[in-house]
Structure 1
Amino acid sequence: MPAPKKSNAPAKAKGKAFSHLDTQGRARMVNVAAKPDQRRRAVAEGFIALSPATLKLLKAQALPKGDVLTVAQIAGIQAAKRTSEWIPLCHPLPLHEVAVEFEVTAKGVRIVAAAETTGKTGVEMEALVAVSAAALALYDMCKAVDQTMVIEGIFVAEKTKW
């Protein structure tokens, strides 16, 4: 019996193709060369629950490691720029803007990150990575005073192209 022909066509399940798998089920990076460049924007959100005592210290900028929100903001921006190093099959993108903002609430900190580019693929992974890294930086900056923190609810809130 002859060996099956190899194909770069995506694998299928129940009639749907998996873009990141070849016909043998192996991972592959999707070829986006034929796609048109488009302006793209994504917004992601997440939350880190903090104890009331930690929130009080954060609001007073009295945490032992300093200005935690600025450090977390920079961590989020830096991580978004390196998303393709975090996510193996992600295309490296030239980011035109990454913004990371925080809303301190009665239960913790809401994190919102937006990423924008003009390119062939979306920037939702960059926004998600920005939120994740910002949450992890907040965790790291607060862990000396709060062992009850919980990072939760990270999701894509908006994805647009035009």
Structure 2
Amino acid sequence: MEKLTHINEQGRAKMVDVSGKPVTRRVAVARARVCMKPETLSRIRQGNMEKGDVLAVAQVAGIMAAKKTSELIPMCHPIPLRGVDLRFSEEGDSTLVIEAEVKTDSVTGVEMEALTAVSVAALTVYDMCKAIDKEITVEQTCLIRKTGGKSGDFIRKGE
């Protein structure tokens, strides 16, 4: 079992010291699925929701969330983001897939920023559509791939 880096010698949480690590290019891609009624996805696609353009608002919310990750997740380091991009696609007639790609040149990775981006974008979709579909679920939020850093590259099996 690997030693947890966020635990000090007293067994308490700590922020990891990254001061000795080299700056490298780091990229992370995360994904979330938002499952809903087919009519809801159809209305999103048509831009026919009372609160406005769901995907445009979710896009901006995801970017903002990536930028605020260190303020939301206690042990995350504030890092300079070089790029944040969210993409939307559909699976079948009732699932919206959200992917976020986040880039930095830093001493620590951007996995949490990518995961936070898709999570907040998915919650934004829920918020904008809940009036017509309270059964929306956010599912399968996960890291798809990451590059850079000491631990090397990661690609989720099946990707």
**Length-normalised TM-score, structure 1:** 0.88
* Residue matched to 2:27: 41
* Residue matched to 2:98: 111
* Equivalent of 1:58 in 9, 26, 44: 44
* Residue matched to 2:157: none
Matched, 1:150 2:117: no
Aligned residue pairs total 148
Matched, 1:70 2:89: no
Matched, 1:28 2:25: no
Q: 1:53, CA displacement in angstroms? A: 1.3
Q: What secondary structure, in the 3-state scheme, does the structure 2 residue paired with 1:22 have?
A: coil
Distance 1:26 1:157 in 2: 30
Q: Which string of whole-angstrom CA distances, capped at 9 and with x for unpartnered residues, describes residues 22-55 of structure 1?
A: 1111110000000000000000001000101111
Q: 1:64, CA displacement in angstroms? A: 1.1
Distance 1:42 1:60 in 2: 30
| Segments ≥4 residues shifted beyond 2 Å | none
Distance 2:45 2:24 in 1: 40
Distance 1:109 1:124 in 2: 21
* Equivalent of 2:115 in 104, 121, 128: 128
* Equivalent of 1:83 in 66, 69, 78: 69
Q: Which string of whole-angstrom CA distances, capped at 9 and with x for unpartnered residues, describes residues 85-115 of structure 1?
A: 1110000010000001100332220000000
Q: What secondary structure, in the 3-state scheme, does the structure 2 residue paired with 1:42 have?
A: strand
Distance 1:144 1:130 in 2: 23
Return 5+ residue gaps in structure 1 as ranges: 1-13
Bigger radius of gyration among the two: 1
Distance 1:157 1:120 in 2: 21
* Residue matched to 1:10: none
Distance 2:16 2:76 in 1: 9
C-alpha root-mean-square deviation of aligned residues, in Å? Answer: 1.1
Read off the aligned partner of 1:116 and give its amino acid letter. K
Q: What secondary structure, in the 3-state scheme, does the structure 1 residue paired with 2:26 have?
A: strand
Q: What percentage of residue pairs aligned between the two structures are identical? A: 48
Q: What secondary structure, in the 3-state scheme, does the structure 2 residue paired with 1:91 have?
A: coil
